[in-house]
Structure 1
């Protein structure tokens, strides 16, 4: 994934990540957000699109069930993952917290995943990270 400063040019849309006063711009139109549930230690994944209207969740999946991670009734078990497609509601931003109990959030694109710490180039720790759409000039 290509990361650049917030003054990224070239037009189009990008994904902005902001944490502890630092902004990183990723030139991507779609990505998977992956993490491990802090209590059940089960894998979660969400597929997102970067759109002019905001970040839009396309599909979610969880590897197992348990406390606080019950899939909705529409979920179907596919290759060991409960997966579903929620209504595609664009969000102006998505806030990612980190309890430190289950590892880091990971952003994946084209089979390659990076932790937020790898993207920012330093440990994120318990800092909140905000994802939003960058509208480049």
Structure 2
């Protein structure tokens, strides 16, 4: 079964049997929520719709975005990401993985962000669905 692997440099720290997920976080300066929907495929992670609840420093609303339900909704055409690399430090707070409207911080699977391990990668992989 295809799923999501979390780790770094090809070392798997956690495997999650999910065909899609939303990655969410708060901008470190503006404290505005961002969300990106991904589909997990054998080729990698495909970005679908993304949303941001406002603009601010370094947060320009993309061309073609539509304001709906308090968020700007938009889509970007990107190739499959394999891996998707995320900066993860104590100062920035943690990312959330959402599946079926249930959001959990990455620390649930990886422990809290640390200065000594300031990054994590997400990629599609075969997972044991037991």
Q: Normalization by structure 1: what TM-score?
A: 0.83
SS at match of 2:107: helix
Q: Verify: 1:129 aligned to 2:106, yes or no.
A: no
Q: Verify: 1:16 aligned to 2:13, yes or no.
A: no
Q: Verify: 1:92 aligned to 2:82, yes or no.
A: yes
Q: Verify: 1:119 aligned to 2:109, yes or no.
A: yes
Gaps of 5+ in 2: none
Q: Distance in 1 between matches of 2:50 and 2:127?
A: 28
Q: Map 1:1-137; keep pairs closer than 5 Å.
A: 12-19=1-8, 23-120=13-110, 122-126=111-115, 127=117, 128-136=119-127
Q: How many residues align?
A: 125
The 8 Å contact of residues 48 and 55 in structure 1, kept in 2 or not, is answered as yes
Calculate the aligned-residue CA RMSD, in Å. 1.9
Q: Which residue number in structure 2 is paired with residue 3 of structure 1?
A: none
Structure 1 residue ranges, 4+ long, deviating more than 6 angstroms after superposition = none
Name the CA shift for 1:52/1:22 in 2 (closer, same or farther; >3 Å). closer
SS at match of 2:108: helix
The 8 Å contact of residues 58 and 88 in structure 1, kept in 2 or not, is answered as no
Once the two structures are TM-superposed, the CA of residue 19 in structure 1 deviates from its matched residue by 4.8
Q: Normalization by structure 2: what TM-score?
A: 0.87
Once the two structures are TM-superposed, the CA of residue 43 in structure 1 deviates from its matched residue by 0.4
Gaps of 5+ in 1: 1-11
